[in-house]
Amino acid sequence: MQLLDGKATSEAIRQELMKAVQKRRENGQKIPHLAAVIVGNDGGSLTYVGAKVRACQEIGFDSTLIQLPEELSEEALLQKVEELNNNPQIDGFIVQLPLPKHMDEKKVTLAIDPKKDVDGFHPLNLGNMVLDLPGFLPATPAGMLELFKRYNIETSGKHCVVIGRSHIVGSPMSIMMGRNASPGNCTVTLTHSRTKNLKEITLQADIIITAIGKPGFLTADMVKEGTVVMDVGITRVADATRKSGYKLYGDVDFENVAPKCSYITPVPGGVGPMTIVSLMMNTLKAMELK
């Protein structure tokens, strides 16, 4: 079993990005600038956005964190999005999800200029992905593709089972793994809460990608020997013995599944850090395309 070390891989990519920024600085060129919008005080979201902004600072990107109150109106948020669309200093921006219940996430996503949509959530970018046209790939699936690439894992002709059909991970990942591309060229099965006989399906998988947010959901009896497992789940479970007060769990019963795998991502330190560098790569690309 080999660990897919997202932390080390993302660190290598950060070094590459740092060099690219340094070169731009030396040549007097513009430095990539990412803005992140967060509405409300959700602990998980604040942690993720904080990590994104910190990553910008470490790499040498410019960054702006825009923290807005929970009770903000949808109209005011849309106005902020429009401001960012029109601000020539900002190359790309994200609006952290989920948004408060009184806001329509689809409406907000649609308002983002696709050229600045470094999350790759806008329908234009998702459509470009389906058609193999240039655009921004969603950060988490793109980060997983990068792991397949950097660990030289063969995907062509393999059976890839994706568990979870979210708009930001499961659905786009199922499409990306089935494209005529490398990594890609898989036979893909997209499973979800209504899937019958899930275990029968996962036992046929060469690659399993879990993205449902249910700690320990994928157990050893669901996995055949030699499977590649990527775990996107990251759930906080209260743990009084820890300073933070919680422990992070993936969707995979890691302890029992890992010995059966050829490759597996840990949680934390697997897919999570790759999502952040994908976002940085998309931001650099957004600036270069301008």
In the complex, residue closest to ligand GUN by CB: 97
As measured in angstroms, the least distance from the Cβ of 201 to ligand GUN is 26
CA neighbor of 81 nearest in space, from 57, 61, 106: 106
Q: Does the annotation count 253 as an active-site position?
A: no
Q: Does the annotation count 91 as an active-site position?
A: no
What are the start-end ranges of the H helices in 151-289? 170-178, 198-202, 254-257, 271-289
Among the listed residues 5, 91, 117, 119, the single catalytic one is 119
Pair 162, 198: CB distance under 8 Å: no
Q: Is 96 a binder of ligand GUN (CB under 6 A)?
A: yes
β-partners of residue 36 are 65, 94
Pair 195, 166: CB distance under 8 Å: no
Site for ligand GUN in 219-278 (CB under 6 A): 275
Q: Of 51 and 220, which has the nearer Cβ to ligand GUN?
A: 51
As measured in angstroms, the least distance from the Cβ of 47 to ligand GUN is 11
Among the listed residues 5, 96, 253, 285, the single catalytic one is 96
The helix/strand/coil state of 258 is helix
Q: Is 139 a binder of ligand GUN (CB under 6 A)?
A: yes
Q: Of 93 and 263, which has the nearer Cβ to ligand GUN?
A: 93
Q: Is 119 a binder of ligand GUN (CB under 6 A)?
A: yes
CA neighbor of 162 nearest in space, from 143, 175, 180, 181: 175
Report d(CA 281, CA 143) in Å as an integer: 10
Q: How far is CA 167 from the centre of its chain?
A: 11
Q: Of 208 and 234, which has the nearer Cβ to ligand GUN?
A: 234
Report d(CA 160, CA 163) in Å as an integer: 10
Among the listed residues 52, 80, 116, 158, the single catalytic one is 52
Q: Does the annotation count 96 as an active-site position?
A: yes
Q: Is 94 a binder of ligand GUN (CB under 6 A)?
A: yes
Give the catalytic positions in this structure. 52, 96, 119
- The footprint of ligand GUN (CB under 6 A) covers 94-97, 119, 139-140, 168, 275
